[in-house]
């Protein structure tokens, strides 16, 4: 999912209000309907596996389109934030690649998951930040600019960290070809993002007109991946669906909590803590599912497919919780008596 309020245009000037409002409104509608659309996609793949199984051969193309759309939404100020506020960005990216893989390994151990499901859970944990985290951060009244930068940096680092962490943490479960996985990530993630950045730079006026449609590109792309992945693991859903759902819910919840706690331990303000919580808890499950299906098996892709459904539901609930907290704090501040000098 592309971010809702671009902090600036390519020149560093504020984005036109009409463009901002259109993209903002489109992103909010998309993220509100996203869980329902993903659930429908999940059911289509589950109920009609034979008819939807051929879609699996094009999941890498769908993911590339999602990443291309993400690249189009990015601007130079998104990356300039790394130089202006390096420590919060560093905390978010390090937490992303430390907390979620660690939780994944712990859950695999506690629930004694079979090898294919275990490597799928670990792969979700080793994925970069989710593309819908930016919209959820906005709805949660977090720091959107920081969220965009964290997602962008963790995604650009994915060709290095995702295969290496998967090899290190899951190499004893199944053979892991880290080199082939890294090349897949370069082809499906890095190249499309760079292409999107170039298109944004070369065709600025055209891009401004299509920005409101880009959240829907992500929605449809991830829905396609979910249909394809679920169609290949329908039997496993019947056998282990509830167990996978429990593991996914715990993985996601601990990610939110530990991401928030990590930011607070470093004495960052509430908005940064909310942003870090969302960034850590929400994963690029589309990437994890595509990699699992391509390099392991459809069963290994099941945790990522379930995660794709769940983390968008939980993200919306988390945003509601944070917004309610902000409303209570604002009300309490308004009721405090004014101290006269």
Q: How confident is the prediction along the chain (341 residues), in pLDDT tens digits per residue?
A: 555 444 433 333 333 444 455 555 655 666 667 778 888 888 898 889 889 888 888 888 888 888 888 888 777 777 788 888 899 999 999 999 999 999 999 999 999 999 999 999 999 999 998 877 887 888 888 888 898 889 989 999 999 999 999 999 998 888 888 999 999 999 988 898 889 888 888 887 787 787 777 777 877 888 888 888 888 877 778 777 789 999 999 999 999 999 999 999 999 999 999 999 999 999 998 889 889 988 998 889 889 988 988 887 888 889 888 888 888 877 877 777 655 54
- DSSP string computed for 210-279: HGGGHHHHHHHHHHHHHHHHHHTSHHHHHHHHHHHHHHHHHHHHHHHHHHHHHHHHTT--HHHHHHHHHH
pLDDT in tens, 213-223: 777 787 788 88
What integer pLDDT is reported at residue 323 of this predicted model? 84
What integer pLDDT is reported at residue 279 of this predicted model? 94
Q: Which helix (H) or strand (E) holds 70?
A: helix 59-73
49-67 b/e (C-beta count within 10 Å ≥ 16 → b): beebbebbeebbebbbbbb
What integer pLDDT is reported at residue 72 of this predicted model? 85
Look up residue 15 and give its DSSP letter. Answer: P
Q: Are 150 and 129 in contact (CB under 8 A)?
A: yes
Residue 113, phi-psi category: left (phi > 0), alpha (psi -120 to 50), beta (remainder):
beta
CA distance 36 to 341: 54
Domains within the chain, CATH numbers bracketed: 17-48+56-329 (1.20.1530.20)
Residue 9: what are its φ and ψ, rounded to 5°?
Answer: -90, -175
pLDDT in tens, 234-269: 777 877 778 999 999 999 999 999 999 999 999 999
Structure tokens at 170: 């899951």
Structure tokens at 304: 């990522």
- Cα atoms in the Cβ-side hemisphere of radius 13 Å centred on 159: 14
What integer pLDDT is reported at residue 64 of this predicted model? 87
What integer pLDDT is reported at residue 132 of this predicted model? 78
What integer pLDDT is reported at residue 11 of this predicted model? 31
What integer pLDDT is reported at residue 27 of this predicted model? 58
What integer pLDDT is reported at residue 12 of this predicted model? 33
């Amino acid at each position: 999912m592309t971010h809702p309020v671009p902090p600036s245009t390519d020149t560093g000037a504020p984005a036109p209000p009409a463009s901002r409002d259109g993209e903002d409104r489109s992103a909010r509608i998309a993220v509100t309907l996203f869980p329902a659309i993903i659930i429908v996609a999940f059911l289509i793949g589950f109920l009609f596996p034979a008819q939807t199984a051929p879609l699996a051969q094009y999941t890498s193309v769908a993911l590339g389109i999602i990443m291309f759309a993400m690249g189009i939404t990015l601007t130079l100020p998104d990356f300039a934030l790394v130089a202006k506020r390096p420590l919060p960005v560093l905390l978010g990216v390090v937490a992303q690649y430390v907390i979620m893989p660690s939780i994944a390994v712990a859950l695999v151990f506690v629930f004694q998951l079979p090898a294919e499901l275990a490597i799928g859970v670990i792969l979700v944990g080793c994925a970069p930040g989710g593309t819908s985290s930016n919209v959820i951060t906005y709805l949660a009244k977090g720091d959107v600019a920081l969220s965009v930068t964290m997602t962008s940096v963790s995604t650009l680092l994915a060709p290095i960290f995702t295969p290496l962490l998967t090899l290190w943490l899951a190499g004893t479960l199944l053979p892991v070809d880290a080199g082939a996985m890294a090349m897949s990530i370069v082809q499906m993630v890095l190249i499309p993002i760079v292409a999107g950045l170039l298109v944004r730079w070369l065709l600025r006026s055209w891009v401004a007109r299509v920005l409101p449609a880009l959240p829907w590109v992500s929605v449809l792309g991830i829905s396609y991946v979910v249909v394809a992945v679920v169609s290949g693991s329908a039997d496993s859903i019947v056998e282990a669906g509830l167990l996978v759902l429990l593991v996914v819910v715990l993985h996601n919840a601990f990610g939110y909590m530990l991401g928030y706690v990590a930011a607070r331990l470093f004495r960052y303000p509430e908005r940064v803590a909310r942003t870090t919580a969302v960034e850590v808890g929400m994963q690029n499950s589309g990437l994890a599912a595509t990699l699992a299906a391509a390099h392991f098996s459809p069963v290994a892709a099941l945790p990522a497919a379930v995660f794709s459904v769940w983390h968008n539901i939980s993200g919306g609930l988390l945003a509601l919780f944070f917004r309610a907290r902000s409303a209570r704090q604002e009300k309490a501040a308004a009721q405090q008596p004014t101290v006269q000098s």
